[in-house]
Amino acid sequence: MQMAIKTSQKVMQVLSAQLVQHLEILQYSSNELEQFIYDKANENPLLVVTDATVKSQYEEIMQLASYSLKSYTAQNNGLLNNSFNPIEMKLAAKESYEQFLLEQVPMHKNLSSVDLKILTFLIQSLDDRLFLDVDLEIVAHKFKTNVLHVEALLDLLQTFEPVGVGARNYKEYLLIQVDRDALAPKWTSQFIKTDLELVAAQSIKQLSKKYKTSTQEVKKTVHYIKNLKPVVTGDKFETIPYVIPEIEVERLGEEWLIKLNRGYLPIVSIDKHYVEILKNEPNCKTYFQNTMKDALLLLQGIEQRDKTLYELARLLVELQEDFFYKGIEAIKPMRLKDVADILNLHVSTISRAVRGKYIKTSQGVYALQSLFTKGVMNISGKMDSIMYIKKRLKQLIEAEDKQKPLTDQQITNILSTDGIHISRRTVAKYREEMNIMSSFNRVYG
Task: Classify strands 267-270 and 47-50 as parallel, antiparallel or unpaired.
Answer: antiparallel
| Alpha-carbon torsion (278, 284, 287, 288), positive or negative | positive
pLDDT at residue 59, as a whole number: 40
Q: Could you tell me if 147 and 140 are in contact, meaning their C-beta atoms sit under 8 angstroms apart?
A: yes
For 43-103, strand residue ranges (E) read: 47-50
Residues of the chain with CATH 1.10.10.60: 375-444
Inter-residue long-range contacts of 315-319, CB under 8 Å, 24+ positions, other chains counted: 315/339, 315/342, 315/343, 316/249, 316/359, 316/371, 317/249, 317/256, 317/258
Contacts of 136 (CB under 8 A, 6+ apart): 147, 150, 151, 154
Query: CB 205: neighbour CB atoms within 10 A?
Result: 10
Mind listing the pLDDT tens digit for each residue in 109-162?
667 888 889 999 999 898 878 899 889 999 999 998 888 888 888 888 888 877
Please tell me the distance from the alpha carbon of residue 97 to that of residue 105, in angstroms, as a whole number. Answer: 13
Q: Are 122 and 153 in contact (CB under 8 A)?
A: yes
- Per-residue confidence (pLDDT) for residue 314, from 0 to 100: 92
pLDDT digits (tens, 9 = 90+) for 294-312: 989 999 999 999 999 999 9
Distance between CA atoms of residues 440 and 145, nearest Å: 16
Phi, psi of 383, deg, nearest 5: -105, 130
Quote the pLDDT of residue 312: 93
Model confidence, pTM: 0.53
The single-letter code of the amino acid at 426 is: T
Q: Which residue positions in the chain have pLDDT lower than 50?
A: 1, 10-14, 54-95, 234-239, 377, 380-383
Model pLDDT, residue 75:
39
CATH class of 375-444: mainly alpha
pLDDT score of 78: 37
